[in-house]
């Protein structure tokens, strides 16, 4: 169903509430609706039309339209449509009805919108902060356009604490994190444990916010941002830079050279190979199986080598630019890659048979961290987590980008929804990745690597792009702007949705299954946390006071002297 | 006191010191071998064989932080853990007759081994953190099923030897009388349970670094940690010696260098086996581990019945 048909469906039902619609492509739809009708239209879209919830974006559009913008991004995977339902809100007291009761997966996104842009989701049942530190002053919203990127607001209250829930009767609280051997990055889970059973859990994260979106919207230019986007994540950096570039290209209606598309595809699949091996290693480490951990890292090494041959870097390839790529795959490198792939495929098949026959590993992962198809829909879970629970979704096939419409591959799914199924889906996907890279090397046609972009990009256009990262769909939303930079850039990493499914996955499980259940979604906290200001005050034993810690971390003299970059670390 | 009795007493003391020195010095080496072997299985080069000695020296030289709830008890637990396992070492033959072998019986041995387990509980309780308490509860659950298996194994030997004396039991007693049915069954059970006694993957549930951060030991550092680590290394050697003495004593009676070397070769192969099993398995969950122990316990009870029937 092209977006035109979807629009006419919405128009017949909601007629006058629809104010404007943009259909830049048959597979994109941007509908502006009246704020009062937004909730009802979303209810129809996510309920009756079966759209998949992607993300909610809030934006301060006052300098341009005089209003605030709220957008609910959705995907119709079968019909190959990606889009947004948007509403413009009045500049004084921006409020919009929550959809988090209709779509539970919108819980975080709406809280984030309240924290950072100051748009109130009316009726949201969780009034607590998500992203901002506990001591951050009320009513200060860092993503508003009148908030400078380097401002440190007055009135930070170090004594304020996050209002955690009380544990249910009979349960003790087991803290997992902020620092724990099973977490590679800081995140804080409070597990409510009865004996060895986990009865519930609460999450407080967003401890490593780096202000990436604010920086892009106020300081950098279009072509600087891929470099920054790549650093959102240490593992799927290429995914983020490609997703950003595609969102801008889609907004500005740029068609990039085909050779660049093949090169992007190749590197994205190399990244998937390396990420899946890294995940397998870490997952095995979590269940105490260090031999497979070491072996999968050994197999991973040649993948890094391949990336280095193409781009000069093992990671953070610096590949992507708006309009194309930087690095070419020369004929010489191409034959080296083919050889390396042949070896890799052999090793990968050995790995598959070794893991497949491991009853001990199976005993630890079967029936653990189970997701139901209903949970996948409610929370908008993506990637191997969704596919292992029978949801046949994959952006590479459903919303094709780069060269994915020109290569053949299978989307691997499983039905059980447990950790074992996720493991199996990832391992099988590796073979598909090898298949895709081979086809890219085969079909790659000669031509330029990037467009010559001499004119300014048109401002005020909206672009969205979904890239199937190793962990699931990475979704980028861009509104183009003046001064050679976007007005609004919203990144939704796959972990943002998958992490919200964790409480349901670990409910009534053994405590021992918590690390592997969490590990099985391959959580990336740096992707999820990507925004605004450091929280130094949460939870840790306070040998040092916060001021002392700040002074230690930033060098004493700057304390209290109007720190230039104090708010953004 | 006559000169004869005095020299006999001196000999016992010297023998005990020899046993203590032997296990203290050999235990880190065995761990070095295990680490190297594990590294080879994992396609790594691995640390030098003497690395565990360096690690212990480094820990001993570190600042002794007291971060638990009851630092005094934590300290006592660490000393007691090493002391109890070293006392046990004097009771088992290490390639020559045990110096204190005639001083106690099987029950003393059991109590001492139980005491070293209790030290872990004490350590965790004294540390008082959430994770150490989870470790304590897991250790307690494991002990309740594991210790009886060891007790039953020794009982099977005692029934066959018709004596509780250690010298008699730790000399291949399960094979002494009747058909070797109960002895064989017990041998298999103990072999399968050996990994659990060694406290290694897949049965390291009480420490489980990625789940509960070393459990009872999570608040330990410096010297106290060194003592605990050393106690764990010694424990493996002592259990290996126990296993060899109980089930495969053949050759221990040979003249000095031969019997001695033969004994350590057998202990060494057990250590190698533990390393290989640890390197090829994922950790069980505590309930899965306990279920496995329970099956083993049921079989071992069967063995003691068979032994009583003269089988």
In a domain, A180, yes or no: no
Please give the Cα distance from B144 to B157 (Å, whole number). Answer: 21
Residues of B in contact with A363 (CB under 8 A): 282, 284, 288
Pair A398, A72: CB distance under 8 Å: no
* Contact flag B286-A510 (C-beta cutoff 8 Å): yes
- Nearest-by-Cβ selection for A360 from B138, B210, B281: B281
Cβ-based contacts of B280 with chain A (< 8 Å): 291
Q: Looking at CA atoms only, how far is residue B282 from chain A in angstroms?
A: 4
List the structure tokens of A492: 């939704």
- Best residue of A188, A198, A284, A288 to probe chain B, by most B CBs closer than 10 Å: A288
The pair of three-digit structure tokens given for residue A315, joined into one six-digit string: 């990671």
ipTM confidence score: 0.81
pLDDT band for position A248 (cuts 50, 70, 90) = very high
Residue A412, pLDDT > 60, answer: yes
Which chain A residues contact residue B208 at CB under 8 A? 288, 512
State whether A295 and B42 contact (CB < 8 Å).
yes
Task: Judge whether B276 is closer than 8 Å to chain A, CB to CB.
Answer: no
Binned at pLDDT 50, 70 and 90, residue A203 comes out as: confident
Domain count, chain A: 2
Please state which of the ranges A299-308, B45-54, B114-123, B195-204 shows the lowest mean pLDDT: B195-204
Q: Do B201 and A298 touch (CB under 8 A)?
A: no
Chain position carrying tokens 């221990």: B252
**Token couple for A544:** 């040092």
Which segment of A417-426, A486-495, B250-259 scores lowest on mean pLDDT? B250-259
Residue A216 and residue A146 share a domain: no
Q: Distance of alpha carbon A471 from its chain centroid, rounded?
A: 9
Q: What's the longest Cα–Cα distance across chain A?
A: 68
pLDDT, tens only, A435-482 = 999 999 999 989 999 998 888 888 889 999 999 999 999 999 999 988
Q: Which of A114, A131, A155 is the last residue of a domain?
A: A155
Contact with chain A for residue B274, Cβ under 8 A = no
Distance from CA of A293 to the nearest CA of B (A): 8
**What residues of A are in contact with residue B41 (Cβ under 8 Å)?**
291
Same domain for A141 and A224, yes or no, is no
What integer pLDDT is reported at residue A290 of this predicted model?
87
CB A291 within 8 A of CB A334: no
Q: Which domain holds residue A235?
A: 212-529
Is the same domain home to A217 and A352? Answer: yes
User: Are residues A231 and A346 both part of a single domain?
Assistant: yes
Separation CA A44–CA A38 (nearest Å): 10
Report CB contact under 8 Å: A294, B43: yes
| Residue B180's pLDDT band (cuts 50, 70, 90) | confident
Contact A196 B286 (CB under 8 A): yes
Place of tokens 């170090």: A158
**pLDDT on residue B82:** 92
For residue A418, being part of any structural domain is answered with: yes
Residue A116 lies in a domain: yes
At A534-556, the pLDDT tens digits run 334 444 444 455 566 566 555 54
Phi, then psi, of A511 in degrees rounded to 5: -55, -35
Same domain (yes/no): A144, A216: no
Mutate to test the interface with B, among A188, A281, A283, A291 (most CBs of B within 10 A): A291
A181/B286 touch (CB, cutoff 8 Å), yes or no: no
In a domain, A405, yes or no: yes
Q: Domain locations in chain B?
A: 3-308
Q: B269 CB near a chain A CB, below 8 Å?
A: no
- The enclosing H or E element of B122 equals helix B106-127
Q: Which two tokens stand for residue A134?
A: 């506990």
CB of B277 within 8 Å of a chain A CB? The answer is no
pLDDT average, residue stretch B180-196: 84
The pLDDT score that the predictor gives to residue A559 is 41
CATH number at residue A355: 1.10.645.10
Q: What's the confidence (pLDDT) of residue A557?
A: 43
Decide if B16 touches A, using CB distance below 8 A.
Answer: no
Q: Are residues A127 and A254 in the same domain?
A: no
Q: A182 and B211 in contact by Cβ < 8 A?
A: yes
A160–chain B nearest CA distance, Å: 25
**For residue B291, pLDDT beyond 80:** yes
Query: Which residues 194-223 of chain B have a CB within 8 Å of chain A?
Result: 201-202, 204-205, 208-213
Q: Are B228 and B217 in contact (CB under 8 A)?
A: yes
Nearest to A361 among B131, B213, B282 (CB): B282
In chain A, which residues touch B (CB < 8 A)?
172-175, 180-182, 195-196, 284-291, 293-295, 298, 358, 360-361, 363-364, 510-515
Alpha-carbon distance A20 to A190, whole Å? Answer: 45
Residue ending a domain, among A118, A137, A155, is A155
- The vertex-A62 CA angle with A59 and A63, nearest 5°, equals 115
pLDDT tens readout for residues A106-116: 999 999 999 99
Min Cα–Cα distance to chain A from B309, Å: 37
**What percent of chain B has pLDDT above 90?**
22
Chain A closest-CA separation from residue B180 CA (Å): 32
Please give, rounded to a whole number of angstroms, the shortest distance from the CA of B142 to a CA of chain A.
Answer: 14
A226 and A80 in one domain?
A: no
Q: Tell me, what's the pLDDT at B59?
A: 92
- B212 vs B21, more confident: B21
Residues A343 and A466 grouped into a single domain: yes
List B residues 95-134 in contact with A (Cβ-Cβ < 8 A).
Answer: 130-131, 134
Give the containing element (helix H, strand E) for B160.
helix B130-161
Q: How many CB pairs under 8 A join A and B?
A: 82
């Amino acid at each position: 169903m092209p977006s035109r048909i979807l629009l006419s469906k919405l128009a017949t039902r909601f007629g006058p509430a629809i104010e404007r619609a943009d259909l830049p492509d048959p597979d994109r739809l941007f509908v502006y609706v009246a704020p009062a009708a937004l909730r009802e239209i979303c209810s129809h879209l996510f309920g009756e039309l079966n759209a998949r919830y992607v993300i909610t974006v809030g934006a301060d559009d006052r300098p341009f339209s005089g209003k605030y913008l709220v957008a609910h991004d959705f995907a119709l995977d079968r019909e190959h449509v990606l889009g947004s339902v948007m509403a413009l809100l009045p500049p004084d007291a921006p409020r919009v009805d929550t959809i988090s009761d209709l779509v539970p997966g919108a819980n975080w996104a709406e809280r984030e919108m309240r924290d950072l842009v100051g748009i109130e989701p009316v009726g949201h049942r969780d009034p607590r902060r998500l992203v901002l530190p506990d001591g951050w002053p009320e009513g200060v919203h860092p993503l508003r356009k009148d908030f400078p990127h380097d401002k440190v607001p007055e009135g930070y209250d170090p004594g304020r604490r996050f209002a955690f829930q009380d544990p249910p009767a009979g349960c003790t609280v087991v803290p997992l994190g902020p620092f724990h051997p099973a977490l590679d990055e800081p995140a804080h889970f409070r597990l409510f444990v009865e004996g060895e059973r986990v009865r519930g859990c609460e999450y407080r994260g967003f401890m490593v916010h780096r202000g990436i979106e604010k920086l892009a919207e106020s300081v950098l230019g279009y072509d600087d941002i891929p470099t920054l986007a790549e650093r959102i994540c240490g593992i799927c950096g290429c995914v983020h830079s490609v997703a950003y570039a595609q969102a801008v290209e889609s907004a500005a209606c740029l068609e990039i050279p085909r050779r660049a598309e093949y090169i992007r595809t190749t590197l994205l699949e190399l990244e998937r190979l390396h990420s899946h091996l890294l995940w397998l290693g870490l997952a095995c480490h979590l269940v105490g199986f260090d031999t497979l951990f070491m072996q999968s890292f050994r197999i991973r090494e040649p993948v890094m080598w391949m990336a280095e041959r193409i781009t000069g870097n093992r990671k953070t390839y610096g590949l992507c630019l708006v309009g194309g790529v930087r690095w070419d795959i020369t004929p010489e490198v191409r034959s080296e890659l083919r050889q390396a792939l042949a070896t890799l495929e052999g090793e990968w098949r050995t790995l598959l048979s070794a893991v497949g026959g491991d009853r001990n590993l199976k005993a630890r992962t079967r029936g653990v961290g189970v997701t139901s198809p209903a949970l996948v829909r409610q929370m908008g879970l993506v990637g191997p987590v969704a596919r292992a629970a029978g949801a046949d979704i994959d952006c590479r096939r459903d919303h094709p980008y780069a060269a994915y419409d020109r290569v053949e591959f299978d989307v691997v799914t499983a039905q059980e929804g447990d950790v074992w199924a996720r493991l199996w889906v990832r391992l099988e996907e590796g073979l598909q990745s090898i298949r895709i890279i081979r086809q890219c090397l085969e079909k790659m046609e000669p031509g330029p690597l990037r467009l010559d972009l001499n004119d300014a990009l048109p401002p005020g256009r909206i672009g969205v792009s979904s890239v199937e990262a190793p962990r699931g769909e990475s979704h980028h939303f861009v509104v183009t702007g003046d001064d050679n930079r976007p007005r609004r850039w919203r990144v939704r990493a796959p972990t943002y949705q998958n992490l919200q499914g964790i409480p349901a996955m670990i409910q009534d499980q053994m405590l021992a299954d918590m690390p592997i259940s969490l590990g099985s979604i391959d959580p990336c906290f740096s992707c999820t946390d990507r925004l605004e200001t450091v929280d130094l005050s949460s939870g840790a034993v306070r040998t040092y006071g916060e001021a002392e810690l700040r002074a230690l971390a930033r060098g004493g003299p700057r304390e209290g002297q109007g720190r230039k970059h104090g708010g953004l670390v | 006191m006559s000169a004869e009795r005095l020299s006999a007493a001196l000999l016992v003391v010297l023998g005990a010191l020899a046993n203590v020195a032997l296990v203290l010095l050999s235990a880190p080496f065995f761990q070095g071998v295990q680490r190297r072997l594990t590294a080879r299985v994992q396609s790594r080069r691995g640390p030098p064989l003497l690395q565990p000695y360096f690690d212990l020296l480094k820990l001993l030289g570190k600042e002794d932080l007291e971060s638990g709830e009851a630092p005094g008890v934590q300290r006592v637990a660490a000393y007691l853990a090493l002391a109890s396992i070293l006392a046990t070492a004097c009771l088992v033959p290490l390639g020559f007759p045990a110096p204190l072998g005639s001083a106690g019986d099987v029950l003393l041995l059991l109590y001492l081994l139980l005491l070293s387990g209790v030290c872990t509980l004490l350590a965790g309780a004294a540390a008082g953190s959430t994770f150490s308490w989870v470790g304590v509860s897991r250790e307690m659950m494991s002990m309740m099923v594991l210790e009886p298996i060891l007790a039953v194994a020794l009982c099977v030997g005692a029934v066959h030897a018709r004596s509780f004396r250690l010298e008699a039991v730790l000399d291949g007693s399960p094979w002494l009388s009747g058909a070797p049915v109960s002895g064989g069954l017990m041998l298999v059970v103990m072999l399968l349970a050996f990994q659990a006694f060694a406290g290694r993957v897949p049965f390291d549930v009480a420490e489980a670094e990625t789940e509960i951060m070393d459990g009872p030991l999570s608040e330990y550092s410096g010297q106290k940690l060194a003592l605990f680590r050393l106690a764990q290394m010694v424990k493996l050697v002592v259990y290996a010696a126990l296993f060899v003495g109980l089930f495969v004593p053949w050759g221990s009676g040979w003249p000095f260098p031969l019997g001695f070397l033969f004994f350590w070769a057998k202990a060494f192969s057990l250590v190698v086996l533990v390393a290989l099993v640890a390197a090829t398995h994922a950790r069980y969950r505590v309930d899965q581990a306990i279920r496995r122990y329970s099956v083993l316990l049921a079989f071992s009870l069967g063995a003691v019945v068979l032994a009583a029937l003269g089988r």
